[in-house]
């Protein structure tokens, strides 16, 4: 019989081990074939609802001529989505036991996601983020129970530093949730600077907690988890653009106006996928310092990827006369997030594998050119798509040339 404290891969569905409550011991960082579990994939899928709600409200706010309100609300809600997802993913990479208690606690976190999503329209429209805050707190406190389980197992195994790390996470996350409840539940929405202060406090918890001992997250698993969420937000962009075009077609809008937006949007999304997965980033994640910078930087990657879909929907609405904004503003709704995506993917991924000035400049220059496309009028989305496609072609050519 194996030692119950020895890290091992989760048992498969239906296995007797799944029915038991086991010790939450760290998994090996060098474990082979470490892949996302069905529970993690289900967890990601449920986040699609919240991402769709945030993107949909951004479309309405910008389309109605309130871009400032829309962008602030979108970033606020997306922070809650991203941070809860990220904390779960890193914890699961280190401590996934896949027993009954772990599964139930994860399902509770999913309930929190759905509560958060239900509160998004009220937060955008009325500035009342109380329901969103409740959903967020449910997700975060469920994670606290996971950290307490990890601390208890570490104590039983005599792992003093590991226990200190787990308890630091549990205490830090709990203190932050108390702050959110005090500021959001009674009043609905705090000033922006207060929200920013609490967000910084949340992001400070992992670096402070891992000073005792780093958790045993798995580089390949983490890279896969982030890649899967990138696919989810890009897929949401395709879905949002499809719905927008379908609505325009149903209203018998001009095909000449819609085709350039649809073609350019597809080129942007296809290029975004290609560029993100062009290099194997897991080899770069060799330490906590590198991993924290890379993981936190993905806030810009995820928000921009999801905003591309919202921008395409705004562009369609403007082209059909349903949005109270100018052509240039509608174009910027697509070009700005597209440029941010290109630049941040270069900053986080590509620059670590590029050799020579020409390779290093491809994506930053492409980001600038996409921004320039904003002033090209009604065909800005198409021109942006062509620039993104050209960036892929140039990158492939450079790689082929370098490998000779």
Average of per-residue pLDDT across 15-34: 68
CB atoms within 10 A of CB 100: 13
Positive or negative: CA dihedral 304, 135, 174, 72:
positive
| pLDDT confidence of residue 164 | 93
| pLDDT confidence of residue 253 | 61
Model confidence pLDDT, tens digit, residues 129-143: 888 888 999 999 999
* 57 vs 127, residue with greater confidence: 57
Assigned token pair, 210: 């891992």
Largest CA distance in the chain: 70
Model confidence pLDDT, tens digit, residues 40-51: 999 998 888 888
Residue 318 and residue 311: Cα distance in Å, rounded? 10
Residue 75 and residue 180: Cα distance in Å, rounded? 17
| pLDDT confidence of residue 13 | 43
Mean pLDDT for the chain overall? 85
Residue 62 and residue 328: Cα distance in Å, rounded? 13
Give the pTM: 0.88
Model confidence pLDDT, tens digit, residues 262-293: 889 889 999 999 999 987 887 777 777 888 88
Fold of 219-402: I/LWEQ domain (1.20.1410)
Average of per-residue pLDDT across 96-122: 90
Q: Where does residue 126 rank: exposed (0-12), middle (13-18), buried (19+ CB within 10 A)?
A: exposed
* 165 vs 32, residue with greater confidence: 165
What DSSP assignment string belongs to 185-207?
Answer: TTTS---HHHHHHHHHHHHHHHH
Residue 10 and residue 320: Cα distance in Å, rounded? 52
Domain boundaries, the chain: 36-209, 219-402
Q: Which residue has the tokens 């997250």?
A: 217
Please report which helix (H) or strand (E) contains residue 163, including its range: helix 160-184
Compute the residue count for the chain: 404
Model confidence pLDDT, tens digit, residues 207-235: 999 887 888 888 889 989 999 999 989 98
Please report which helix (H) or strand (E) contains residue 354, including its range: none
Main-chain dihedrals φ then ψ at residue 252, nearest 5 degrees? 60, 40
Q: Do the beta carbons of residue 272 and residue 278 sit within 8 Å? A: no
Grouping H, G, I as helix, E, B as strand and the rest as coil, residue 35 is: coil
Has residue 35 got a pLDDT over 80? Answer: yes
What DSSP assignment string belongs to 215-261?
Answer: ----HHHHHHHHHHHHHHHHHHHHHHHHHHHHHHHHTT--HHHHHHH
| pLDDT confidence of residue 283 | 76
Most confident of 74-83, 85-94, 190-199, 384-393: 384-393
Q: Do the beta carbons of residue 268 and residue 388 sit within 8 Å? A: yes
């Amino acid at each position: 019989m194996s030692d119950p404290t020895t890290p091992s891969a989760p048992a498969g569905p239906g296995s007797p081990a799944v029915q038991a409550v086991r010790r939450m011991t760290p998994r090996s960082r060098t474990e082979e074939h470490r892949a996302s579990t069905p529970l993690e994939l289900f967890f990601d899928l449920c986040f699609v609802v919240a991402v769709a709600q945030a993107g949909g409200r951004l479309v309405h706010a910008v389309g109605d001529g309130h871009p400032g309100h829309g962008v602030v609300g979108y970033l606020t809600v997306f922070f809650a989505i991203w941070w809860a997802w990220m904390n779960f993913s890193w914890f699961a990479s280190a401590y996934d036991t896949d027993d009954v208690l772990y599964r139930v606690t994860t399902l509770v976190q999913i309930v929190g996601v759905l509560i958060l999503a239900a509160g998004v329209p009220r937060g955008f429209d009325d500035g009342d983020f109380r329901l969103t805050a409740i959903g967020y707190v449910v997700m975060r406190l469920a994670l606290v129970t996971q950290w307490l389980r990890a601390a208890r197992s570490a104590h039983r195994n005599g792992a003093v530093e590991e226990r200190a790390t787990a308890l630091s996470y549990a205490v830090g996350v709990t203190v932050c949730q108390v702050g959110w409840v005090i500021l959001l539940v009674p009043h609905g929405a705090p000033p922006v600077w207060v929200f920013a202060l609490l967000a910084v406090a949340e992001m400070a918890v992992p670096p402070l907690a891992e000073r005792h001992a780093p958790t045993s997250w798995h580089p390949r698993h983490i890279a896969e988890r982030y890649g899967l969420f990138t696919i989810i937000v890009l897929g949401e962009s395709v879905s949002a653009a499809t719905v927008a075009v379908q609505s325009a077609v149903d209203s018998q809008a001009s095909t000449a106006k819609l085709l350039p937006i649809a073609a350019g949007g597809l080129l942007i999304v296809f290029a975004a996928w290609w560029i993100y997965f062009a290099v194997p980033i897991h080899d770069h994640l060799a330490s906590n310092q590198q991993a924290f910078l890379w993981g936190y930087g993905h806030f810009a990657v995820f928000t921009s990827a999801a905003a591309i879909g919202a921008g395409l929907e705004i562009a369609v609405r403007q082209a059909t006369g349903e949005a109270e904004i100018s052509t240039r503003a509608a174009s910027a709704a697509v070009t700005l997030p597209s440029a941010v995506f290109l630049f941040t993917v270069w900053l986080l991924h590509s620059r670590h594998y590029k050799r020579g000035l020409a390779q290093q400049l491809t994506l930053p220059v492409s980001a600038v050119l996409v921004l320039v496309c904003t002033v090209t009028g009604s065909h800005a989305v198409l021109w942006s798509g062509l620039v993104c496609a050209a960036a892929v072609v140039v990158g492939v050519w450079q790689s082929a040339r370098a490998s000779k």
